[in-house]
Each structure stands twice: as C-alpha cells, then as structure tokens.
Chain A
Amino acid sequence: MTTQSCVMIQKEWDIVAARQLGREIAKKIGVGTVDQARIATAVSEIARNIYLYAGKGKVCFDVIETIDQKGILITAEDSGPGIDDLSMAMEDGFSTSGGLGAGLPGVKRLMDEFDIKSEVGQGTQIKVIKWVR
C-alpha cells in the first residue's frame, strides 16, 4: 500500500493547491509533461466543482500499482447537494452555473478511467485514474 495525500477544498486557493499537488505527485512517479497537464487540469475541474457546488470537500491522491502498471488515483468527495441528472451533467456544454459545462465531460476525456457516483442530498464522489505510460 501507499500513503494517501489529500487537499481539503474550502476556499478558492485550495483549487490551485490541489492541482499543484496532483502535478507534483504525477511528476514524481514518472508521468510525462502532457499527462501532468492533463492531471492538473482534471484536478482543477473537479476541485472547482466541489468549491462551487458543494462548498467544501476533499481531493485525495494515491499512487497505485498493479502487476504491469503504475498510476495516480484521484478521489474527489463532497457532501454537497449531489447531481440530479448525471447523464445530463456529463454532456458537453451542460452547466447550471453559467460555466462552459466542459468540466465533467472534459475530465473523463483527460483521464484513463473515470467513475462518478452522486446522490441527491448526499453528495458526489469522483474517482479517476491516469496510468503512467
């Protein structure tokens, strides 16, 4: 097992702190420059969503290893309002805040694995993985 590091998201600057930590960890395990940018951007999107829609939550990073691959697992969790229509939220351009609506669908494209669970009134959990190439 590896150690997990987390960033609590409760103010705007935490979005920056989270994406910096994500990039740092990615770099340490040998992720290339372009994938580092993908990871930092994805973290920025999910952290901002926590800040905007849930008010607070956390983003955690794990380095994971299988027999033949190594990667970074990013888990974002909040106990906010949840997402009422997930398939809608995953569509390009859908936003309830006047944003670009590029966050969730974008994160899915930027990362290798993407999983989202959300329950109205309970909160949202997103897990994404980027494998080292």
Chain B
Amino acid sequence: MRIPILKLYNYLLISIQTEIDDQTAIQFQEDLLNEIHKTGSQGVVIDLTSVEVIDSFIAKVLGDVVTMSDLMGAKVVLTGIQPAVAMTLIELGIHMRNVPTALDLEQGLLKLHQELGE
C-alpha cells in the first residue's frame, strides 16, 4: 500500500486516509523525499484528519520526515491532528515540539505561504 502524494503549484499535499502499518509509513517517508527532490517543492502539508492512531513508531516516522525534508530545504506542516490523538501523544510522552502544525489543510497552506514569504 502506498500513500498518494499530490502536487499543487510548488507544494506537495498528502492526506493520510488509511490505517498505516510500519512498512507503509517507511515507504511514505522515502516516497515523499523523492518527490521533494523530483519536483523541487518547498512546502509540504501532511493532513492527518482521518488518522485515528499515532503511536510512537508513526510519531517517529513523522518527526523524522519533517527533519529530513527540512534538510532538503522543504518545510513540512502537519495538519488536522484529532483531539484524541493529541491527548494520546502527550500521554505517550511525545511532544513533537519542533514540528510545525496547523488546524486544517487550509491553515497549513496559509502557514507555508507565510513562512516561505510568498
């Protein structure tokens, strides 16, 4: 299973709609970095509205992908984290402090727009 990555102007948009197993998460990490490289996109929004579980493994993959993209020169914003997921993450002890987030896809795009100074 592969998570689709859409290109919109100079942004990449990802909406995670399915339950992700570890392999899918790792594959996504690789696919996204390749896509950033290929398209030269400077901004990425990963929308997590439909994601019901973020455990420590998925959190690590998401945190890593933000750092890796950053290294490549692309800003990633995570959007739409559900209230129950946010509470669970904090109780797990995962704070994702240096991960940019926004309420929804629209706010995420706005945030990128501001940060990239366009």
**Chain B contacts for A33, CB-based, 8 A:** 84
Whether B60 and A37, one on each chain, are in contact in the complex, defined by CB atoms closer than 8 angstroms, is: no
The reply to whether B92 and A102 form a contact with Cβ atoms under 8 Å apart is: yes
Interface of A is mostly: helix
List 7 extra interface pairs beyond A16-B20, A45-B55, CB under 8 A.
A34-B88, A41-B55, A93-B93, A99-B60, A106-B56, A106-B92, A109-B92
How many interface residues does B have (CB within 8 Å)?
23
Q: Would you call B92 and A110 a contact (CB within 8 A)?
A: yes
Q: Mark B82-117, 1 if CB is under 8 A from A, else 0.
A: 111101100111100000000000000000000000
A contact set with B: CB distance below 8 Å: 12-13, 15-16, 19-20, 23, 33-34, 36-38, 40-41, 44-45, 48, 92-93, 99-100, 102-103, 105-106, 109-110
B56/A36 in contact, CB under 8 A: no
Main secondary structure of the interface of B (DSSP, over half): helix
Show 9 residue pairs from A and B whose CB-CB distance is below 8 angstroms, ordered by the A residue. Answer: A12-B23, A13-B21, A37-B53, A37-B87, A41-B53, A102-B93, A106-B91, A109-B92, A110-B92
Known contacts A16-B21, A20-B19, A44-B55; A38/B88 CB under 8 A: yes
Q: A92 to B22, alpha carbons, bound, how many Å?
A: 22
Q: A41 CA to B54 CA in the complex, in Å?
A: 7
